Structure 1
Amino acid sequence: MIPRSHSPAKPRLRRLAVALSLALQAVVAGPAAANDAAGLDWVPLESLPEELRDQRCRSCGGRYIDPLAESDLADTPATSDIRARATESEMQGDDVYLRGGVAVDQGYRQLRGEDAYFDRVQREGTVSGGITLREPGILLRGQEAQYSADTGEASIRDSEFVLHQQHLHGSAGQLRRDAEGMLFIRDGSMSYCAPDDEEWAIRADSIKLDLKEGLGTATGAKLDLGGVPVLYIPWIRFPLDDRRRTGLLWPDISSDTNGGLDLAVPIYFNLAPNYDLLYTPRLIQDRGLNHEAEARYLHRNTGFWSVGGAYIPSDDRLQRDRPQESGANRWLANVEHNGLFEQRWRSRVDYSKVSDVDYFKDLDTSNLDTKRKTNLLQLGSIDYLGEDWLVGMEFQQFQTLAEDIIEDYKKLPQITASYRGDYTPFEIDPIFLTQYSYFDSDSERVTGQRLYMEGGATLPMLWQYGFLTPTAKYRYLEYELNDLGLLGSDSPSAGSGMLSVDSGLFFERPTKLAGRDLLQTLEPRIYYLISEYDDQSTQPDFDSAELTFSYNQLFRETRFSGRDRLDDANQISLGLTTRYISAEDGREYLNASLGQIFYLRDRRVRLDPRDEVLDQSSSEMAADLNFFPNKRLSLRNSLVWDPDSGNMNAGSLHASYQREDRAVFNVGYSYRRPVTLVDRDTVTEQAHLSAYYPIDDRWSVFAALNFSVEGSTSVEDMFGIEYDSCCWRIRLLHLRYIDTVPGQNPDFSDPDLEREYSTQVQVVLKGMGGFGNRVTDLLEDMIRGFDDRDY
């Protein structure tokens, strides 16, 4: 008996089988078979059932249908007998003559024609008169073919061919297929376009198609656009599938106000299955030649490694604009590594360094996020993942990319050991963590060692209707400092006991909304936290900050990041969450949360000891709302409201809609008011709009805007247009952005505020690659939800 959960698949399978049958009938019979395109297994869009009309099919106006797609590949010609039939047959010794409607089948191989001759001894023959030779995934047509029944070799005059899986077709004055299945084409052409609408084609003196290796090679080739030769290529190698290949990749071409015309020509070296190299000479009109390289290595024991960098020996524009700079050589170094050895040892390296703070702003034109960086991480770590213990050591420092920002402290090293509890319900779980850190700095600041320890126990109690988790622990902090500065002590210490109780209940009820059967939950949560006060006014601040307030902050045991402060507390957090969940498949349609902290005493521990005591009786109110009415639409909203002042201190709203026709629409708004508890930044208020909109199956437009409300001006905006046909695509993109110091809000009233411009173009000949990958990077950066793999 078929399980009930499987029964809905049967109608879908039946419909697909019917659809394939109808499409195959359109190939071998009916009015469509009379034209030449149908003879190449091409079925026009109007003859295809809806199940087969994907985006590429609509763009091409049809698709190739392989009649042998479902053949048994185990039924090879080498192990199969030859079956032949014709209207007339004649045998003269070892020679067999067939006339009229010749059909020869050998395993999954089919040969058709009008007349045939076959030598039974040599097992070779000739077929003439509109012949077709088929195997799964390949069709060869011509006027006359010589073939071998043993090896499958064939030579066809005035031929045409189709590779169904590759969506590739072509023609040849002479086509030869060898025993290995390799195709040799003389005086031929090939294209990934529809056979009745050849917008571009490669025409060459000779073409070799190696289907096993997935590689094509052409000599004496010309690129034709609309039948007009536009480019002569003496030799070209191109992929027939997505396997990696050594060779030249398509160039990137762009232009911007930072460097003028920008041309990059990547060269890829597929050195081995587990390592490769990409070298990219990049000529920037106003700056010179930049050499970029990346080497990748993968091994089961040493993990993944990527080592790369860039070097421009003389930046002409830098020398011209800033002659006071000492040396114009500019460079980038980058190392990335992730490894897991024997499921116990985990390693990581993330190291980047540049020659100057403006390197990314001047030379990286593919990603605005990179231009916004304020520092570069330089990290190396190794962890031991034991059954009961996690022990790790890391070295970390940063290179600042803003001249007016002091570099973060270096951790040289930081060693952490913690007990890995299993959190078994209703069993006491011990807590133990110790961390040693040495902090250094190149600037004149206090440095030294820090030891942090905590120990205690927790008892997780879980039921279907709720949970209760009491936790008690003691935290201890001690320093050995090299420079007292204003602190007054070279070995300050502090300790604090802490107790927390986290509890919640789960209520649920069935309900209906818009005709849907739903399960609504109501989840109240209460979190009590009390921790002792200890004077920490003589302690430094190496890596700590006060956390930004949000709903998740209600249930944390500290209001600080890092380990430099043991916060004091006596507070109760109240939160309430409701969810609407599909009763059919468990998908969550909506969740909403609201909560607040009530302080039972003043909080005396501050990041800066000179700051005043926090004497509020309650926190701001925090709320989150997430709404997913269907798989295409999402709405996310978060708010932080101060009931005492009536001010909205922070808020964000983002709506995203993705249609089945690939359209993407985004609307966003964010607001942040300065709050002394968090920082002293200016008010930031920004709106975001972005969209990718297909006008029809071929034309699309796209745009993005990040607008500063307080400055009444655009910070970044981008717009462009795309033409996407069956076999090629072109995108034209124009970008404007304000050139600001990383990490700082721009002063929009400054008359010298610079606005940069960039124009990018992307051209893709489908199946052959293309140039302009920076356009894809910018689209994915500025249009949330855009993924070029889906387009």
Structure 2
Amino acid sequence: MAGLSMPLFAQTASTLAPFPTEQDQPRKTTPALPAVDAGGLVPRLAEPKSSRNDDSQPTFVSADKMTGIGEQEIQLEGHGEVRRGGSVVKGDRLIYNQDRDEATAHGNVRLSRDGALFVGPQARYRVDASEGTMQTPNYYFQQTGGSGRADRIDFLDADHASVQNATYTTCTPDNADWYFRASRLDFDTGRQVGTGYNGSLHFFGVPILAAPVFSFPLSDERRSGVLAPVFGFGSRNGIDLTVPYYFNLAPNRDLTLYPRLMSRRGAQLGAEFRYLGNDYSGQWRGEFLPNDRQLDRDRWSYSIQHQHNLLPGMQAYVNLNRVSDARYPDDMGRTLSMASQRQYTQEGGVRYNIGDDWAVLARVQKFQVLPPSQPSYEREPQLNVRYTKYDLGGFDISVESDYTRFTKPLDLNLLRSPEGERMFIQPSISYPIVRAGWFVTPKATFNAASYRLDHMPVGAPRDITRTVPTFSIDSGMTFERDAPVVSRLFGRNFIQTLEPRLFYVYTPFREQSQIPLFDTAESDFGMGQIFSENPFTGYDRIADNNKVTVGVTTRLIEAETGIERFRGTIAQRVDLNGQRVSIAGTAVPSDQKYSDLLLGATVQLFRNYYFDTGIQYNREIERVIRSNIALAWKPGPRQVVNVGYRYRRGTTVLDNNALEQFELSGQWPITQRLYGIGRVNYDMNQRTMTDTLAGFEYDADCWVGRVAYQRYRNTAGSSTSQIFAQIEFKGFSKIGNNPIDVIKLNVPGYQPVPARQVTPSILDQYE
């Protein structure tokens, strides 16, 4: 009945490297799939197994008592043993026929080969041919920790065995909560795969899955077949079931099909193809839902990612992502991060790194932006060249040059935005002077930009040039001393540091109100921005500066280990003239001389307690503008409690952007085996829950049960609810909708119950 064959459980690779993002593209592809030969499809030849029997290996016999006829037949009584290479036969009474190279054992028989152990009352085994049979055996596979029992096992050769009326489980014999039962199991230890016929999966004695033919791994290698089903329930899609099928096409290629059935929408088919070569790698993924019953139209999405090493240091790449409609991520996303995605990138280009100094980027970058977000400027094309040289006669030199043509689709109000070309060059030179206990770094930067613009308002210039020099000097000192009071308090020797820092930047004013904002925004005010030359990201605004930033940091460091247990920082910026350049163009110089005061602290002085806070305080109105507080308590494995508070004051009394949220999350053991998991995010202004997660995880040695409920608000203003349920049969497979990624995203410090692990040893095959 070959036509009914259906491998039920497959093993898929988890080591395929994800496609690198733009920020961390490697210079050279690092293969994560198994290595291949020159043809690219044939696996690397496996190392010869020491357990393979051959005529050159001697045969060893031992027993309490030996009798026999010359070199024909030996009778072994009392702890009889026949050993050749990696095959061992033991029994209370054993007869070894040297002519047939056959061992016949009775009483407490143990047969071991290639990391598998078989135990039964009697056996017959030809050592050289690895052939034989054993009645009513129990068996154990070291690589997975799996075991079982059967009516009979037939050893066909060194790699193959067939078992009649067999069971298989990774549970202990006295606690077999789950097991597979099959009329026949075929084991292929060469390919490390088992195949069962007329099998069913039993959980607490109840059959929950059945198939005429199924396969399962005897190791962690990839196998073709049906992956564990994924099912769940959501408020948008109803009952949601996915049954992936995995094709292990080659050591460096695989394909996974994702048939998905949603009771409220219909049947969707998804596919993911991954490949990896010596000079290229990629991942293609697509989803298609014909005639969504909720919207009465076809819906789809695709993602194509490819990178190719053309020359040493030169890499071409493509990153294309698109969805059929604005509601697709809300309706089809399984997680909050997927549902909240509003921008999809379509980009292709070439990167070229010349040594360690030169970096060249040529690309075209477009976006699909979903409402309510506004369209973004697209780069058609961009050519960027950077040169960086450190310690050239003591100087650090950097030069960046860029040409980009910016285009923008019509926004939601059908308004035409300014478009055009921008060219700039920005060289900088600094001379770091670093000595024991202090440093001074003077730096000079020059920005020259030229714009040629289209679709400008009437009367606005179309050709604009701008040149802006910037001078800055960064300096600091470090003082150290013993901290005897803190040392006595905590019973450990501490060193305290005091690190004052002084930063000055000067940039003359240049009129920039006619320049559109292609890629520029105002940076969030914080510790990183307060010590920078320009408060804007991008190159369309260069702020006029005559500012001094003063800050001081103190640390408590364990003298013996060097671990930083406390860090506190306070910083403030003084504007000597008043900044005129704003994100909107040119404004009246601000009369606010002092910036908001920034304070931050990180504390790990108390064992298992972690505290982090950041505060932005306005001295003029005597109000906190922003604050973030996070506290974590981690007393042990899978024990964590997180408390967080976020506050951002609105610019006006009626500002809808005002934010005040309280967050509580954690993982905690309820019993020795049951763990509770949860998270609540409460909006104190709107007096409502924004995100909620509640779940349980149960560890039963050979299986783990997980259930979780999540509800979150998405960008469309509505809420989405999902139920996750999963049973993981350790060392075998998983059934259900995996909640681990969702829990990790919501509960910092969460540790899932570990899968069954078998630690390899050089004595694994010793019997």
TM-score (norm 2): 0.86
Aligned counterpart in structure 2 of residue 316 of structure 1, from 287, 293, 299: 293
Cα displacement string for residues 655-677 of structure 1 (whole angstroms, at most 9, x for unaligned residues) = 2333433223221111111349x
Counterpart CA distance in 1 for 2:366 and 2:242 is: 32
**Against the structure 1 CA distance between its residues 378 and 639, is the aligned structure 2 distance closer, same or farther, given a 3 Å change threshold?**
farther
Counterpart CA distance in 2 for 1:104 and 1:114 is: 12
Aligned counterpart in structure 1 of residue 552 of structure 2, from 576, 584, 589: 576
Cα displacement string for residues 160-183 of structure 1 (whole angstroms, at most 9, x for unaligned residues) = 111123111111111123432433
In the other structure, the counterpart of 2:333 is: 364
In the alignment, structure 1 residue 782 sits paired with structure 2 residue 746: yes
3-state SS of 1:645 partner? coil
Aligned counterpart in structure 2 of residue 419 of structure 1, from 383, 387, 391: 387
The answer on whether the counterparts of 2:343 and 2:370 sit within 8 Å (CA) in structure 1 is: yes
**Against the structure 1 CA distance between its residues 536 and 88, is the aligned structure 2 distance closer, same or farther, given a 3 Å change threshold?**
closer
Counterpart CA distance in 2 for 1:129 and 1:334 is: 61
What displacement does 1:520 show?
2.2
In the other structure, the counterpart of 1:764 is: 728
**Against the structure 1 CA distance between its residues 617 and 486, is the aligned structure 2 distance closer, same or farther, given a 3 Å change threshold?**
farther
**Against the structure 1 CA distance between its residues 91 and 619, is the aligned structure 2 distance closer, same or farther, given a 3 Å change threshold?**
same
The answer on whether the counterparts of 2:420 and 2:453 sit within 8 Å (CA) in structure 1 is: yes
**Against the structure 1 CA distance between its residues 337 and 668, is the aligned structure 2 distance closer, same or farther, given a 3 Å change threshold?**
farther
In the other structure, the counterpart of 2:648 is: 672
**Against the structure 1 CA distance between its residues 124 and 514, is the aligned structure 2 distance closer, same or farther, given a 3 Å change threshold?**
same
**Against the structure 1 CA distance between its residues 542 and 85, is the aligned structure 2 distance closer, same or farther, given a 3 Å change threshold?**
same
Instruction: In structure 2, give the amino acid aligned to 1:555.
Output: F
What displacement does 1:348 show?
4.2
In the other structure, the counterpart of 2:601 is: 625
**Against the structure 1 CA distance between its residues 630 and 76, is the aligned structure 2 distance closer, same or farther, given a 3 Å change threshold?**
farther
Counterpart CA distance in 1 for 2:240 and 2:702 is: 26
Equivalent positions of 1:480-499 (< 5 A) are 480-485=452-457, 488-499=460-471
In the other structure, the counterpart of 1:435 is: 402
3-state SS of 1:196 partner? helix
Aligned counterpart in structure 2 of residue 234 of structure 1, from 212, 216, 230: 212
Instruction: In structure 2, give the amino acid aligned to 1:467.
Output: F
In the other structure, the counterpart of 1:131 is: 109
In the alignment, structure 1 residue 465 sits paired with structure 2 residue 437: yes
**Against the structure 1 CA distance between its residues 137 and 583, is the aligned structure 2 distance closer, same or farther, given a 3 Å change threshold?**
farther
Counterpart CA distance in 1 for 2:110 and 2:62 is: 14
Counterpart CA distance in 1 for 2:208 and 2:545 is: 74
In the alignment, structure 1 residue 144 sits paired with structure 2 residue 122: yes
Instruction: In structure 2, give the amino acid aligned to 1:452.
Output: F
* Greater Cα offset, 217-226 or 88-97: 88-97
What displacement does 1:590 show?
2.0
3-state SS of 1:145 partner? strand
What displacement does 1:156 show?
0.8
Cα displacement string for residues 689-717 of structure 1 (whole angstroms, at most 9, x for unaligned residues) = 11122223421221111111111110111
In the other structure, the counterpart of 2:762 is: none
The answer on whether the counterparts of 2:385 and 2:400 sit within 8 Å (CA) in structure 1 is: yes
The answer on whether the counterparts of 2:638 and 2:751 sit within 8 Å (CA) in structure 1 is: no
What displacement does 1:628 show?
2.9
Counterpart CA distance in 2 for 1:95 and 1:353 is: 75
What displacement does 1:199 show?
0.9
The answer on whether the counterparts of 1:661 and 1:694 sit within 8 Å (CA) in structure 2 is: no
In the other structure, the counterpart of 2:695 is: 720
3-state SS of 2:376 partner? coil
What displacement does 1:266 show?
0.6
Cα displacement string for residues 195-223 of structure 1 (whole angstroms, at most 9, x for unaligned residues) = 11111111111112223322111011122
* Greater Cα offset, 665-674 or 522-531: 665-674
In the other structure, the counterpart of 2:541 is: 565
In the other structure, the counterpart of 1:445 is: 417
In the alignment, structure 1 residue 502 sits paired with structure 2 residue 471: no
5+ unaligned residues in a row in structure 1: which ranges? Answer: 1-72, 320-327, 747-753
3-state SS of 2:741 partner? helix
**Against the structure 1 CA distance between its residues 188 and 455, is the aligned structure 2 distance closer, same or farther, given a 3 Å change threshold?**
closer
In the other structure, the counterpart of 1:335 is: 304
The answer on whether the counterparts of 1:172 and 1:187 sit within 8 Å (CA) in structure 2 is: yes
3-state SS of 1:369 partner? helix
In the other structure, the counterpart of 1:259 is: 237
3-state SS of 1:313 partner? strand
Instruction: In structure 2, give the amino acid aligned to 1:725.
Output: A
The answer on whether the counterparts of 2:51 and 2:114 sit within 8 Å (CA) in structure 1 is: no
What displacement does 1:574 show?
0.8
The answer on whether the counterparts of 1:125 and 1:147 sit within 8 Å (CA) in structure 2 is: yes
Counterpart CA distance in 2 for 1:183 and 1:273 is: 25
3-state SS of 2:174 partner? coil
In the other structure, the counterpart of 1:606 is: 582
3-state SS of 2:295 partner? helix
Aligned counterpart in structure 2 of residue 305 of structure 1, from 259, 282, 303: 282
In the other structure, the counterpart of 1:95 is: 73
Cα displacement string for residues 228-253 of structure 1 (whole angstroms, at most 9, x for unaligned residues) = 44443211011222211111001111
Counterpart CA distance in 2 for 1:392 and 1:570 is: 34
3-state SS of 2:624 partner? strand
Give identity over the alignment, percent.
28
Cα displacement string for residues 104-152 of structure 1 (whole angstroms, at most 9, x for unaligned residues) = 3445544321222221212112111121123573221111111123233
Counterpart CA distance in 2 for 1:269 and 1:664 is: 39
The answer on whether the counterparts of 1:252 and 1:263 sit within 8 Å (CA) in structure 2 is: yes
Cα displacement string for residues 340-398 of structure 1 (whole angstroms, at most 9, x for unaligned residues) = 55551244443311111110101112x11222223223333422111332221232222
What displacement does 1:190 show?
1.1
In the alignment, structure 1 residue 119 sits paired with structure 2 residue 88: no
Counterpart CA distance in 2 for 1:423 and 1:379 is: 35
The answer on whether the counterparts of 1:649 and 1:675 sit within 8 Å (CA) in structure 2 is: no
The answer on whether the counterparts of 1:335 and 1:351 sit within 8 Å (CA) in structure 2 is: yes
Counterpart CA distance in 1 for 2:457 and 2:607 is: 58
**Against the structure 1 CA distance between its residues 233 and 360, is the aligned structure 2 distance closer, same or farther, given a 3 Å change threshold?**
same
Cα displacement string for residues 74-101 of structure 1 (whole angstroms, at most 9, x for unaligned residues) = 6876423312223352437722223333
* Greater Cα offset, 146-155 or 213-222: 146-155
**Against the structure 1 CA distance between its residues 187 and 487, is the aligned structure 2 distance closer, same or farther, given a 3 Å change threshold?**
farther
What displacement does 1:521 show?
2.0
**Against the structure 1 CA distance between its residues 573 and 413, is the aligned structure 2 distance closer, same or farther, given a 3 Å change threshold?**
same
What displacement does 1:735 show?
2.0
Aligned counterpart in structure 2 of residue 729 of structure 1, from 700, 704, 719: 704
In the other structure, the counterpart of 1:686 is: 661
**Against the structure 1 CA distance between its residues 74 and 582, is the aligned structure 2 distance closer, same or farther, given a 3 Å change threshold?**
farther
The answer on whether the counterparts of 1:137 and 1:164 sit within 8 Å (CA) in structure 2 is: yes
The answer on whether the counterparts of 2:274 and 2:282 sit within 8 Å (CA) in structure 1 is: yes
The answer on whether the counterparts of 1:381 and 1:393 sit within 8 Å (CA) in structure 2 is: yes
* Greater Cα offset, 728-737 or 275-284: 728-737
Counterpart CA distance in 2 for 1:418 and 1:469 is: 22
* Greater Cα offset, 119-128 or 261-270: 119-128
In the alignment, structure 1 residue 544 sits paired with structure 2 residue 520: yes
TM-score (norm 1): 0.84
